Structure 1
């Protein structure tokens, strides 16, 4: 009899733990409509195109729509260096799409990898699967100026032109310093 109680108690604890973590698993893999990852759980590792941002620091929201014509709307966005933006990816299509931030080089490399492993899951803060009819957020701090891109890297989508441009304009101070150095 004590063994039964122990097992029932353990089973209850395991079920409770599994139920508590289920929303986190769905959120991490971007397979459901959800908000941005909780600020404390975001991996804040510097990338060439910026770093994961904190939702509370986002200064604006940009909605990027995607569809089965393999296009993003808008196809080009402009931000300022240092700006934290909440990118809301909305899938108006009937097939799975994704939003991945990066440089041209990293996106091309990852697109090739996706052809080899089409069921690859994403849990990096700059990548999100967006199910048909769903929305997913990426909060990102663009702390480096330059041209960057966003793309859908699902096999065939990138090759079909599902790519957009992010133009990160230098911060005003940095731009004035560059102009002063050129003039002086």
Structure 2
């Protein structure tokens, strides 16, 4: 009986690990935490300073591909996928975005919809509301396998 319980524990623990996380697919992004270099998802009820429309295309580009914000500013990104394939909008610093892109290669087809990222099918729209906590240069990108490598990345310039 002990062997059966041990085997069941060894088999179910990895699945429990994949079931945890902040979004569909079972893993959490480092930049979704409040101590992220890029800031944090805006808390419910936070006043939004402005809304920026962002489009994603099958040319593997964002429009706009660069955004200027001020440290402390909360911005709603209204994102639309104008392409015929799925795309993502993910906020982080360069290393966080690259790390997530590598994870996506291991788990293709994963979708997201949390405070720091959103996956949109063709024609879909969605929003990400983000508070930029400090100045610096940060990124947004599409971590669907192959998209980041094709140049689907944008930059944030956050001024004091």
Length-normalised TM-score, structure 1:
0.67
- Which deviates the most, 51-60 or 136-145? 51-60
Distance 1:116 1:51 in 2: 25
Match of 2:102, SS state, is helix
Equivalent residues of 2:38, 2:134 under 8 A apart: yes
The structure with more helix, counted as a fraction of residues: 1
Asked if 1:60 is matched to 2:50, the reply is yes
What 5-or-longer segments of structure 1 have no aligned partner?
A: 1-27, 30-42, 171-184
Distance 1:102 1:84 in 2: 15
How far 1:58 moved relative to its partner?
0.5
| Residue aligning to 2:12 | none
How far 1:124 moved relative to its partner?
3.4
Equivalent residues of 2:113, 2:119 under 8 A apart: no
Distance 1:139 1:64 in 2: 13
The structure with more strand, counted as a fraction of residues: 2
Distance 2:127 2:133 in 1: 19
| Residue aligning to 2:91 | 101
Distance 1:44 1:163 in 2: 21
CA-based RMSD: 1.6
| Residue aligning to 1:175 | none
| Residue aligning to 1:39 | none
How far 1:123 moved relative to its partner?
4.2
How far 1:153 moved relative to its partner?
0.3
Distance 1:56 1:113 in 2: 31
Equivalent residues of 1:63, 1:89 under 8 A apart: yes
